[in-house]
Chains A and B, each alone.
Chain A
Amino acid sequence: MINILKRITHEPLGLTGLILVIVIVISAVLANFIAPYDPIALNILDRLQSPSANHLLGTDQLGRDLFSRVLYGGQVALKVALISIAAALSIGVLLGMIAGFGPRWLDNIIMMFFDTIRSFPTVMFALATVALVGPSLETVIAVIIVTSIPNYGRVVRTQTLSIKTNEFIMAERVMGVSTLRILGVHVLPNVIGPLIILASMDIPTVIALEAGLSFLGMGVKPPTPSWGSILNDGYTLIRNTPWPIIAGSIPLVLITLGFTFLGESLRDLIDPKLRKSL
């Protein structure tokens, strides 16, 4: 682990990615201490200000400090990304291993489920769900989990299938080791590597999706700050001030860049073979 970190920091792109990610994660986690203002406190007198020493990124139409809102928005983005990817990863691994190791009919059912989900364009699926259940952060997380399960599940299934016929697994079976133990102790460590890379490259997609849905008013509810809802404010005010758009997009672009750079250098380091297939 430390070895990998060391090698990443030796590469300019990996280092840039790591720094960007660390800075944004820390600023989101410590938002309560760093933020100069309450992100939802109204101050109508100071509305639509340009950046100044008092308001680093200016204020929005209700006089809320944009810098503070951006910091707190980071918490929402990271929360969504972490929860949904962790959940999708675990369910995907479970289903993928069952599909790869289990009986043929179960494999077929699971693959059918995966194909069904994959046949929807993600945003359309998200919008249809939000239309039915109503907009909330939980809905967004649920949609992201459901739509990303197949991505992980399919990779795990393929890997499991190829490991399954290996001699050491056969030997375990002959020795009467339980399926659960085989899966947990022997298959899992072999499939987890590529998954971590896949997950780290998925984080920007997920964050952008959350921001996109919040931008459409289908994600977090106001007045909770999210990068997407800040951008939405900016969109409605586009003829008055450019600052909300700039404030909302900077962290969004930086964090997607950061995770992409990091993910790519991780991929090159851990598994050069994946370079082609991804």
Chain B
Amino acid sequence: MLAVTLLFCMIHLVPGDPARILLGPRATPELIASMSARMGLDLPLPVQIFRFFGNLFRGDLGMDVITNRPVADIVFNQLPYTLWLIFTAIIFAALIGIPLGCYSALHRNTLADRISGILSVTCITAPAFVVALYSLLIFAVTLKWFPAVGAGEKGNFWDQASHLVLPAFAIGLSWIGYLARLVRASMLEVMGENHIRTARAYGLSERTVVYRYALKLAVLPTVTVIGVGMGFLLSAALFTEIVFARPGIGKLIFDSITTRNYPVVMGSVLISTILFVISTTLSDLINAWLDPRIRASL
């Protein structure tokens, strides 16, 4: 809520009239006045904020002043692309990162563990847009294995999937490292606990102990981390969408900034902020649901 007000004030506190910027230097005063009226800029600031919130609760993010379409429509049109991208990236990262972390924990301090540790750090530190650029350069431009731009034809599953591979890889790579380290750390912690010792004492096979009892607990922190990491995921998605010219909310923000389309910038930044806040809260709840110890304290 506060974030939204801050965002709104920010837009209005900066020097320069959005209507004037939008229309360019040659606009007549009358034109600017009518544009301001359309954007509601002629009202006093508190009234504007109040109106904005009123509209927001009705799911109305205002009108795009350039194309005259509702901002909410535009944003929600683009949102699924970004969500799919983030979802695929996380699944990809989890599929590689969790087993890797598990393996490192079980073979602690061996050469393989050390190599995977260094690889993980390297993956984490590589900025998403650099990975995106390289995968574009290597797999799309040079080898031509995957398409370089866009999101594929609507309805054509394989086309869309092949357009998803490289962007998801670019976002997911740093998360592989992240998840691997996280799972390794929590796995080591869990393996030292009493119930694992008990399970071993019962003579259960090592495989059962690891997969049925230890891994289940060790994966818990990843849920929180993914929830809190939504901000990073959204940022990474923004860069990858721009590099691969892929539709999505990041590309929408970037494009509307370059065209100075303020209602769209606000609407899309707002939606991604809400998404971020929701996912943080949700991950806390899921964690509480999964872990009886936290559930008791709530």
Contact = CB atoms under 8 A, between A and B. Distances in A.
A131 B265 contact: yes
B281 to A, nearest CB: 11
A252 B277 contact: no
Given A124-B272, A242-B137, A257-B122, A112 B2 contact: yes
A99 interface: no
B3 A249 contact: no
A215 B129 contact: yes
Interface in B224-273: 230-232, 234-235, 238-239, 242-243, 253-254, 257, 260, 262, 265-266, 269, 272-273
A166 interface: no
Contacts of A208: 127
A231 interface: yes
Contacts of B243: 235
Interface string A129-173: 111110000000000000000000000000000000000000000
A116 B3 contact: yes
A122 interface: yes
A208 to B, nearest CB: 4
Contact of A119 (B3, B11, B118, B266): B3
B260 A131 contact: yes
A123 B238 contact: yes
B109 to A, nearest CB: 14
B134 A260 contact: no
B208 interface: no
A192 B4 CA distance: 33
B115 interface: no
B134 A245 contact: yes
Given A127-B257, A249-B134, A253-B125, A121 B276 contact: yes
Interface in A217-265: 218, 231, 234-235, 238-239, 242, 245, 249, 252-253, 256-257, 260-261, 264
A124 B10 CA distance: 13
A119 B130 contact: no
B41 interface: no
Contacts of A218: 257
* Most B C-beta atoms less than 10 A away, residue of A121, A130, A204, A249: A121
A239 B133 CA distance: 12
Contacts of B141: 238-239
Contacts of B257: 127, 130-131, 218
A211 interface: yes
15 contacts: A119-B2, A120-B273, A121-B272, A124-B235, A127-B257, A132-B10, A132-B11, A216-B242, A231-B130, A235-B243, A238-B141, A239-B141, A252-B130, A257-B121, A276-B185
